[in-house]
Amino acid sequence: MKELKIRSVHLSDKVEILRGEVRSFLKAEREAGHFTPHCDSWLSGYDANFSRKLGQQNWLGMTWPKMYGGQEKSAFERYVVMEELLAAGAPVAAHWFADRQTGPLFLRYGTEEQKKEFLPAIASGELYFAIGLSEPNSGSDLASISTTAKKVDGGWNINGSKVWTSGAHHAHFMVTLCRTSARTENRHEGLSQLIVDLSTPGVSVRPIRIMTGEHHFNEVIMEDVFVADQRVVGEIGDGWKQSMAELAFERSGPERFLSTFPLLNELFQILQEEGANERASTAIGELVVRLVTLREMSLGVADLLEKGVSPDVTAALVKDLGTRFETEIAEVARQVVTTPAALQPRFKTLFAKALLHSPGFSLRGGTTEILRGIVAKGVGIR
Ligand SMILES: Cc1cc2nc3c(=O)[nH]c(=O)nc-3n(C[C@H](O)[C@H](O)[C@H](O)COP(=O)(O)OP(=O)(O)OC[C@H]3O[C@@H](n4cnc5c(N)ncnc54)[C@H](O)[C@@H]3O)c2cc1C
């Protein structure tokens, strides 16, 4: 069996100073009533104004080259900004996917024209992307997608539909995985990534509501949608390799264990005010120990990114452990909070969102079973 090595990271003073700046900014924004903390705010907290403010603070596209609107900061500087935003439950959903994965995808595979067109606008918090991978009959088995793009004069003609497309009703573009040549024995061949402008004729974005009634994800139907050759990402036929590289960014961040942190924070406050009994203290203590460990592991993933090493296996492991943790925060809250405290409006909102969003945590970005398969292969036991 191969060992999975995760290095322990010590954050420098420079990084901690940046953390202080982000905290002060968030405190001022909260006190000014510009946002209220929410659980799962990276998926459901859409606020274009807030994203633009983060762009003005230079906290988007942080690790990208300056010539494309970035700041050439380290993966750790980016990490502390992300963790502070998530811990505060700030509304970061508008730009989240573009900053996390579409930007790095363009940096790695995009043309010069695409980098110049898209990256500065993403870094200023003004341009949003959706991720068009899953389809009604293809989720975990992504290579079975049936959306097709056929070559036409000057571009490609797309037909097909994507599903569970987070934020597509707000996004300007969707990076869309399509089949560009007929399926062969190697199902990973013949797939390509195309940038679909979601305002193009032939695109319909239909809401899918979650059980709270909220609208965060969609079905995106494409009927004879034209995409110009200039909007192909990387090489035609390399879509599988490129999508897998993108998924490593998708799975590697602190959002995979901090989605319900605002509820944990609220739990502390309630138990401090009420005086925690032994059962509650033990339950919270256990959560905190796991949080510290997960954070160490997650920083280890950021360390791999900083060194340019693909974090895919480690990120899969951290995501599996992380999503279980963020789901259990809601369960512990249910068990330890007394009825009067549970009826406080602030608690009720955080708790309801944590509980009702949590079934999606272990599905989005790759299900538990798929992640465990990746880890098993990575350590050589499968
Ligand atoms: C909140 C949320 C947001 C999302 N946002 C997006 C988005 O923006 N863009 C996008 O493209 N997709 C998005 N998705 C879709 C997500 O990527 C898929 O739900 C996920 O990949 C699983 O696919 P599926 O739902 O088709 O389930 P399936 O793949 O059908 O899986 C069903 C069950 O079978 C299990 N299973 C499947 N294959 C295997 C196997 N080989 N071995 C063992 N068990 C297996 C799975 O683990 C799961 O439990 C989102 C999903 C959620 C919940």
* Mean pLDDT computed over 86-92: 98
Whether 3 maps to a domain, the answer reads no
Task: Indicate if 262 and 373 belong to the same structural domain.
Answer: yes
Cα(369) to centroid(ligand 1), Å: 10
Task: Indicate if 76 and 183 belong to the same structural domain.
Answer: no
Q: How confident is the model at residue 370 (pLDDT cuts 50, 70, 90)?
A: very high
Cα(367) to centroid(ligand 1), Å: 6
Three-class DSSP category at 265: helix
**pLDDT (0 to 100) of residue 146:** 96
Give yes or no for residue 143 having a pLDDT over 90. Answer: yes
Three-class DSSP category at 134: coil
Query: CATH number for the domain including 202?
Result: 2.40.110.10
Structure tokens at 309: 């090493």
* Total tally of structural domains belonging to the chain: 3
Sign of the torsion angle spanned by Cα atoms 271, 352, 248, 325: positive
Closest CA to 84 of 261, 347, 332: 261
State whether the beta carbon of 369 lies less than 6 angstroms from ligand 1: yes
- Could you tell me which residues come within 8 angstroms of residue 59 by beta carbon, excluding any fewer than 6 positions away? 22, 81
| Residue in 77, 83, 135, 250 annotated catalytic | 250
**pLDDT (0 to 100) of residue 105:** 96
Cα–Cα distance, 266 to 250 (Å, whole number)? 27
CB 219 within 8 A of CB 163: yes
Cα(143) to centroid(ligand 1), Å: 13
State whether the beta carbon of 134 lies less than 6 angstroms from ligand 1: yes
Mean of the per-residue pLDDT values of the chain: 95
Whether 182 maps to a domain, the answer reads yes
Whether 253 maps to a domain, the answer reads yes
Task: Indicate if 254 and 369 belong to the same structural domain.
Answer: yes
Whether 210 maps to a domain, the answer reads yes
Whether 7 maps to a domain, the answer reads no
Task: Indicate if 56 and 167 belong to the same structural domain.
Answer: no
State whether the beta carbon of 217 lies less than 6 angstroms from ligand 1: yes
Task: Indicate if 276 and 366 belong to the same structural domain.
Answer: yes
> Where do we find the tokens 């942190």?
261
Whether 234 maps to a domain, the answer reads yes
Please tell me the residue having the least CA distance from ligand 1 atom 51: 364
Task: Indicate if 20 and 122 belong to the same structural domain.
Answer: yes
Task: Indicate if 51 and 115 belong to the same structural domain.
Answer: yes
> What does the pLDDT look like over 277-300, one tens digit per residue?
898 999 999 999 999 999 999 999
Last residue of a domain, one of 100, 128, 156: 128
Structure tokens at 56: 């003005």
State whether the beta carbon of 202 lies less than 6 angstroms from ligand 1: no
Last residue of a domain, one of 93, 110, 128: 128
Q: What does the angle CA 345 – CA 346 – CA 352 come to, to the nearest 5 degrees?
A: 85
Looking at 180-184, 201-205, 340-344, which range is the least confident one?
340-344
Give yes or no for residue 139 having a pLDDT over 90. Answer: yes
> Where do we find the tokens 């974005």?
205
**pLDDT (0 to 100) of residue 271:** 87
Structure tokens at 267: 């739990």
State whether the beta carbon of 376 lies less than 6 angstroms from ligand 1: no
> What does the pLDDT look like over 319-332, one tens digit per residue?
999 999 999 999 99
Cα(137) to centroid(ligand 1), Å: 10
Last residue of a domain, one of 183, 209, 238: 238
Task: Indicate if 171 and 124 belong to the same structural domain.
Answer: no
Integer-rounded Cα Rg, in Å, for the chain is 21
Cα–Cα distance, 36 to 357 (Å, whole number)? 17
* Mean pLDDT computed over 80-99: 98
**β-bridge partners, 208:** 217
Looking at 17-31, 119-133, 307-321, which range is the least confident one?
307-321
Range of the domain at 354: 244-378
Whether 5 maps to a domain, the answer reads no
Whether 114 maps to a domain, the answer reads yes
